Amino acid sequence: MAGSRVTVGQKVLLKGKSRHGKNRIQQHGSMWTVTRLGQFNGHDAFQCESESKTFSVGTQGRKIKDCRWVFTKHDPNFLFFH
């Protein structure tokens, strides 16, 4: 269900709403794992990381998982489902 409560360790499916969100999904995939609950920019939010290592670090081809905050309500860039 979109916008309902999440827990740490839970897998969520992100869907891009804005151009920015759609680009991040295309770049890092749609399945993410919740790693932290808290607030971001004054909004209740959760931090999540991509399932795969898709974020390039440096110039030697090393990649890490991408990490981002998603508001639990009215996020401008993402919808989430679990």
Cα distances (angstroms) measured from residue 45 to each of 4, 53, 63: 11, 23, 25
Q: Residue 1 falls within a domain, yes or no?
A: no
For the record, the structure tokens of 56 come out as 């390039």
Neighbours of 40 (CB within 10 A): 16
Total tally of structural domains belonging to the chain: 1
Q: Residue 19 falls within a domain, yes or no?
A: yes
- Secondary structure (3-state) at 53: strand
pTM of this structure: 0.88
Is the pLDDT at 1 greater than 50? The verdict is: no
Q: Residue 3 falls within a domain, yes or no?
A: no
pLDDT at 2: 52
Q: Residue 82 falls within a domain, yes or no?
A: no
Q: Residue 4 falls within a domain, yes or no?
A: no
Q: Residue 22 falls within a domain, yes or no?
A: yes
CA distance 24 to 20: 6
Q: Residue 6 falls within a domain, yes or no?
A: no
Containing domain of residue 45, as a range? 11-74
Contacts of 51 (CB under 8 A, 6+ apart): 29, 31, 32, 33, 65
Q: What pLDDT digit, counting tens, does each position of 14-38 carry?
A: 999 999 999 999 999 999 999 999 9
> For the residues 56-66, what does the mean pLDDT come to?
86
